[in-house]
Structures are given as C-alpha cells and as structure tokens.
Amino acid sequence: MFKSIRWKFTTIYFLLVFIAMLIVGVFIIKQFEKVQIEQIDKTMNGYVGRVLDVSQEIKARKWDEIKESAFNNWPVPIGYKIYIIEKSDYPKIVGTIPWNNKDIGKSVFDFKEINPEYILYSLNEGKESIGIQHQDDSRENHLVHPVTDENDEVIGLIYVTSELKEVDAMLNRSKVIMIEGTILALLVTICIGFVIAKSVTIPINDVTIKAKQMVSGDFDQRVEVKSEDEIGQLATMFNTLTEKLKITLAEIYREKSKMDTIFNHMADGVIGCDIKGNILHANPIALNILNIEFDALTDVDYDTVISKLDSKLTLKHMNQSSDYRGSELISKDNHSYLVKYAPFKNDNQEIGGIIAVLQDVTEQQKLENMRREFVANVSHELKTPITTIKSYTETIIDGVIDEKELTLNFLEIVNSECDRMTRIVRDLLQLSNMDYKQTKWKFKDLEVKELIDKAVMKLTMAAKDKNQALTTTIEEGLPNIHVDRDGIEQVILNILSNAIKYTPDGGAISLNVFKVMDTLNIVIKDNGLGIPKDDLNRIFERFYRVDKARSREMGGTGLGLSIAKQIVQAHKGTIEINSEYNKGTEVKIMLPLVNNDN
C-alpha cells in the first residue's frame, strides 16, 4: 500500500499536520502553564506584601510577639499556606496563615512541605527564591521572601506555598482538548490529503499507463491536460515527448530501413561484430560468401565464421598485427575477395568492434589478367613483325643489296610483315572505336540473299583451293534486313574465313539462313578442328587463340571473333559458338528483323 504515491502523499500530510499540532499544542500548554504560574506568583507576592504591611510585630521586627490574633481573619484561598520564619541557627516557624498552633516553634527542617534549599538560599543571599515542588501526586508553587532590618540584614522569612491542583486540572483539560482537536484535524487531514493526493496521482497514473503502452510498442498515446500546474505541464510535456518520439522513431525507422536496404542489396558483403566477437550484422551477400545461414549466426562468433576465408581477418590476428584497420586480397574456391575492415567506436570513444566489407573482385581480377594478357599479346603480335622487319632490313643494309633477287625476297617479307602490322593496328582501331561507340554505322534496308551471296562469293576461291565443299541455303521470302552492309559482311567473312582456315582439305562448310519469329538466323557450320570445351568461354577474348602457333602461321590476328561479336551487339543481335574438338564448329548469328537504326 505504501508503495503508492497517493498513500505517501497522505502520510506526509498526516505527519506534517501531526507534528505541527504537536508543536503548537505543547507550545500553547507551556505558555498557558507559564501564564497561570506567573499569575499565582503575583498573588503570592501580594500576600507577602499584605503580611509585611499589616503585621505590626513583623514591622517592629518582634518575631516573638507574633500572635494568632494578628492573622485570625485573613482570607487566604484554598490551598495557600503562609509560614513566618524567624532566622536563627535552626530557623523556626513563629506563625502560620491559617494559624496552626502545632506548627509554631518547630524547625523548618521538620516540614516536608518546606524546601530547605529555598530557606538557606534566601537567608544566605538575602534574595527572594521561587520554584515548583512536587508533593506526592500534586505540585505546589513555593515563594520565599526575606525580611531585613535597618542594616539590610536578613532577620526572617515569609514562606508562601500554593497548591497547583486547579492549574494542573486546567492543563489536563487543555491537553485533552488539544488531543481531541489534533485527532479531528488529522482525520480531516487524511481525507483532504487523500483527495489532494488523488488529484495529483490520477494524472500521474494516466501518464504511467500510457507510458507502459508505449513500452509495449503503441506510441499513439496522449494524456488529457486538465490543468496548467506542474501536473498539467507534465502531461503537456508527455504529449510533446510522444510526438517527438514518434517523429524520431519514424526517422530512425526510415534510416534503418534505408541502411537495411543498402546492406541487403549492395553488391558487397558486409559483416560486423563487437570487440568480443559477437556478430552484430551480416547481409545476404556476406552469408553467401561465408557459406553460413542467418539463423546459425547466434551459435558462432566472428572469428569462427571469418576464418573460413582467412585467419588474417580474425580479431585475434588484427589485435596482434594492426589497429583493426586494413585490407586483404583473398583467393578461395576460384573466387577473389578484397576484404576491407575498419573499427567503429562506442559511446566512450573506445573501439567497440569492426565492420568488414567483402568485395568479390573475381571479375575485376579476370579483367586485369585479361588486360595484362592483352597487352602481352599486342606486344608479342607487334614485336614479331617488327623483329622480322628489323632483321631483314639490317641484312639488306649490311650488303645484300647487291643481290637483287635476294633483296626483292627480303623486301617482300618486310612488306608482308608491314601488312600484318597494318591489319593488327586496323583491327585494334576498329575495336577501340566500337568500345567508345565512335563507329559511324550506315544502316540500310538490304536484301538478305544479296548480302549473303556477295560475302560468300569473296571466299569461294579460298574454299576451292582447299577442295572444301561450301554450300549455302537461304530461306525463301525473307524480308529485308536493316543493317550496316560493311559491318555484317565483315562478320560473315570473319566466321567463314575461320571455318575455311581451320577445316582440313576436303572438308565441308555450310551456311544456312532462315527466319525464327522476328529474328534472322545465320548459321555457319564446319567439320574442322573444333574448339576444346575449356576454351569456348574465352573464344571471344582479344588475341585469344586455341592453338597460338598454328593461328599465327595461318596469318590471323586473334581479333576477328572479338570484332564480329562487337558488330553483332551493335546491331542488337547475338552470336553463339558451339563446338566439339576434332568434330567441328557451329556459329549462330541472330539479328533482329526490326529497325535497328539508332
């Protein structure tokens, strides 16, 4: 119950009022008692004055002549006693009011009603003494007044006592009244405190309930503002906080969604962990590279997962050899990965973990290798004719020039090598222009049969020289095709020349042209040397040859198929090669019959 702020408020109000009433009650009782005692003191002093004024014996300092008759008719209130005491070695009573013969002549030290300390003090000091004495279950107020002679020497005392029963009774009654008033005030305080606490705690409880609902994920909460005091301000700030929180959460969700989308759909793998190795995040690409399921991440740590690639990427190795920052090029399962890692910091600006980005650079590595191989091939292709030209030229310069026939043979060789270099440079320039889309295509509507026949005619003699059977089959009724004549003719010549070149004497070569849907198919098939299966996926690479030595002997540059593919793609077509080693090759060129003009 006392865990409730309502009861705490009520208890605090109760204690405050109780303490206040207690302090006020004690103060009032004490002040009331003080006033009563002071009034009694004045009354007692009045009686002392009357005794001094009325008693002729005391005036004459004749203590032994004090008679009962002098005080017989003195009105003394109930509870008052006056003792007239003569000073001597043993002070004795010489008179009492009311008069009591039994007490006359007795020593003051024989009376328990008289305090000897007051007697001795007044006799020795010559000063009045006053105080309250407890007699059995009651109290009495005592006053001792010294009587002096002409020389201010104390010769006697007037000792007055007054019972305080009425004062005590009044004080007790006042205490009862104060207690009753305190109880009533406390009851009223409890009721009022409960009402006030309820008015305070109801809005707080409302805020608490709404806050619990927000904890459960329901942020559409508002508190009714019923006042403009601190509680009302709390409700207003709660509503403001709710709105700000909704806006902030929406922004956070958008950013999280954006980051999740980036992480999940980026081409690179991303994996993050804290400094203890607990995996915080891994996107699908990273999971695929590391060959692990997302649900399994909770059962393994970062070092266990990343060590599948390389132990250099583990936190243990990073901690020993670096500041958790660097990169590694890893090769695994015919794939190359560039792994870059860097630390991130926590709230204390300490390294909280690392983020590793796994980039699959297999294609880049292949392209780099192809670039290097291409440069090497170009260098080799150009070096061979240059070396031949230089050798024969030096020979001519050294004196062979006098032998005309030999010199002409040398010059023919030099001329042939120059032509070879020209072909290489021309083909490279053509590829470069197509790479940078600088080739100017001249698209026209052409008759398919005319285009094919002219191309085949240019190579008919080459096929006859090798006693090869070159047959052409063209489907009837083909529509015109919108192409660049020189480009498509170059493609057909490149493919046909390769077929003639790599088909043995007496072999067979066929060229079939037919329509499939909106596509013109040109299929060139031979029964020549064929291409090994491992070389098929590289056959369109520049300067790539299946049999390099034999290809160079036959005068090829190794760029024909690359040029053919570029031209076909420029016409929005495709080219495919199917081949079986030592059985032959089939090349299929597919060109759209729709308008290709860009």
pLDDT value, residue 588: 94
Return the exposure string of 287-309: e unless at least 16 CB atoms fall within 10 Å of the residue's CB, then b: bebbebeeeebeeeebbebbeeb
Q: Are strands 508-516 and 469-474 parallel, antiparallel or unpaired?
A: parallel
Run of H or E including 474: strand 469-474
pLDDT value, residue 473: 93
In terms of Cα–Cα distance, which of 184, 196, 186, 183 is closest to 8? Answer: 196
**Lookup result for tokens 């081409």:** 267
Q: Which amino acid is present at 385?
A: P
**pLDDT tens-digit profile of 568-586?**
988 899 999 998 888 899 9
In terms of Cα–Cα distance, which of 525, 508, 415 is closest to 463? Answer: 508
- What order do you get walking across the sheet with 469-474 strand by strand? 469-474, 508-516, 519-526, 584-592, 574-580
In terms of Cα–Cα distance, which of 193, 191, 224 is closest to 207? Answer: 224
If one counts every other C-beta atom within 10 angstroms of the C-beta of residue 26, the result is: 12
pLDDT value, residue 550: 46
The whole-angstrom separation of Cα 299 and Cα 280 is 12
Q: Quote the tokens at residue 357.
A: 């980005």
pLDDT value, residue 532: 87
pLDDT value, residue 549: 45
pLDDT value, residue 228: 67
Low-confidence ranges of the chain (pLDDT < 50): 549-552, 554-555, 596, 598
pLDDT value, residue 586: 93
CB of 156 closer than 8 Å to CB of 84: yes
The whole-angstrom separation of Cα 109 and Cα 120 is 11
Q: Is 555 helix (H, G, I), strand (E, B) or coil?
A: coil
If one counts every other C-beta atom within 10 angstroms of the C-beta of residue 2, the result is: 9
Torsion, CA 234, CA 240, CA 245, CA 250, rounded to 10: 160
**pLDDT tens-digit profile of 167-221?**
888 888 888 888 888 888 888 887 887 777 777 777 777 777 777 777 777 767 7
In the chain, the N- to C-terminal Cα span, in Å, equals: 86
Q: Quote the tokens at residue 194.
A: 């409960």
pLDDT value, residue 598: 47
Run of H or E including 495: helix 485-501
Read off the DSSP letter of residue 161: E
Beta bridge partners of 261: none
Return the exposure string of 152-185: e unless at least 16 CB atoms fall within 10 Å of the residue's CB, then b: eebbbbbbbbbbbeebeeebeeeeeebeeebeee
pLDDT value, residue 556: 56
